[in-house]
Amino acid sequence: MKPNAFLASRMAAAFPMLVPVGALLLAMLSITSGVSVAKTLFPVVGAEGTTALRLSLAALMLALVFRPWRARLSRRNALPLLLYGGSLGAMNLLFYMALETVPLGVTIALEFSGPLAVAVFASRRRIDLLWVALAAAGLLLLLPLGSSVGALDWRGVCFALGAGVFWALYILAGQRAGAEHGAQAAALGMIIGGLLVTPVGIAHAGSALLEPAVLLAGAVVALLSGALPYALEMVALRRLPTQTFGTLTSAEPAIGAMVGLALLGELLSPVQWLAIGMIVLASVGTTLSASPNLRG
C-alpha cells in the first residue's frame, strides 16, 4: 500500500472515534462549565434555588424533545422510575450544597465514590482491591483531617459523599428505568426530580427565582449541565464501547478541577491534586479491569 493511501486509511479508521470521543469530552466540559455558572447564582437564590432551576428547566427542555407523556406507565415500572427521579433530585441538591464550601474538582472527586463503589462491588476480581485501596487513599487525602489551613469544610464533604450515594442509586435505578422507558426515562426522571426539589428551592429563595436575570442564568445552567451533555453523551454511548466510555468519564474530576481553576479561580493544593489523580486512576483501573459482562 502506498504511504498516502495507508495514511488515508488510518485517518478514516480513526475519524469515527474522534466524533464520539469529542462529544464525550464536550459533555464533561459542558457539565462543569454549567456548574461554574450555577455557583454565580448561589448568593442570590442559594444552592437549593439553583438546583430547583436547573432541574425544572432541564425537565422542560427534555420534555419538549422526548415527549414523556407518551410513555406507558404501570405499577410494575413506576417504582424504578420514582427511585431514578428521586435519586437524581437528591444527587443534584446535595452536589450543589457541597459546592457552597468545597471546590468543584474536589466535590466531583468525592461524589465519584458512588459510581466507583457500584463498579467495584459488582466485580469479583482481586485486582479491584487495588483500585479500592487507591480510591480510599485519595478520599482520605481529601477529607478535612487535622488542622491544616487547606482543610475542607466537613459539612460540604458530607454533602458531596451523600451525592455520591445517590449517584450510585441513580445508576442502579437508571438501568431498570432505561430498560423500561428508553430515552424517555431521562425526561421522566428529570421531571420527578424537579417536582421533589423545586418546593425546597421555593421555600429557600421565594420570588427571587422568578427574576428575569435569575431565570436566564438558570436556563443556561439547565442547558449546559442537563440537556446539552445528555445529548452529547447519547452520541458517545451509541458509538463507543462501554469500557472506553467509562474510562474517559473517569477524567471528570480532573476536568472539573481545571474548569474550577480557569472559571472560578479555585486553587487546589498539591495534595488535593494528587488525591484527585488517585481517584481518577482508580476509576480508570476499575473500568479497564471490569469483566466483559460488566462492560455491557
Cβ atoms 98, 157 nearer than 8 A: yes
pLDDT band at 77, cuts 50/70/90?
low
* pLDDT tens-digit map of 85-103: 899 999 999 999 999 999 8
Structural domains counted in the chain: 1
**Stated pTM of the model:** 0.81
- Assigned domain for 13 exists: no
- The rounded distance, in Å, linking the Cα atoms of 110 and 155 is 13
The residue whose grid cell reads 494528587 is 274
- E-assigned strands of the chain? none
Cβ atoms 174, 84 nearer than 8 A: yes
Calculate the average pLDDT of the chain: 80
- Assigned domain for 124 exists: yes
185-210 burial code (b ≥16 CB/10 A, e <16): bbbbbbbbbbebbbebbbebbeeebe
CA neighbor of 197 nearest in space, from 85, 58, 89: 89
- Assigned domain for 1 exists: no
* pLDDT tens-digit map of 260-281: 888 888 888 888 889 888 888 8
Write down the pLDDT at residue 145: 60
- Assigned domain for 6 exists: no
- Assigned domain for 82 exists: yes
Query: What range does the domain containing 92 cover?
Result: 23-295
Take residue 105 and report the three cell numbers written for it: 474538582
In what helix (H) or strand (E) does residue 4 lie, and over which residues does it extend? Answer: helix 3-39
Phi-psi region of 206 (alpha: psi -120 to 50; beta: other; left: phi over 0): left
- Assigned domain for 207 exists: yes
DSSP type of residue 19: H
- Assigned domain for 5 exists: no
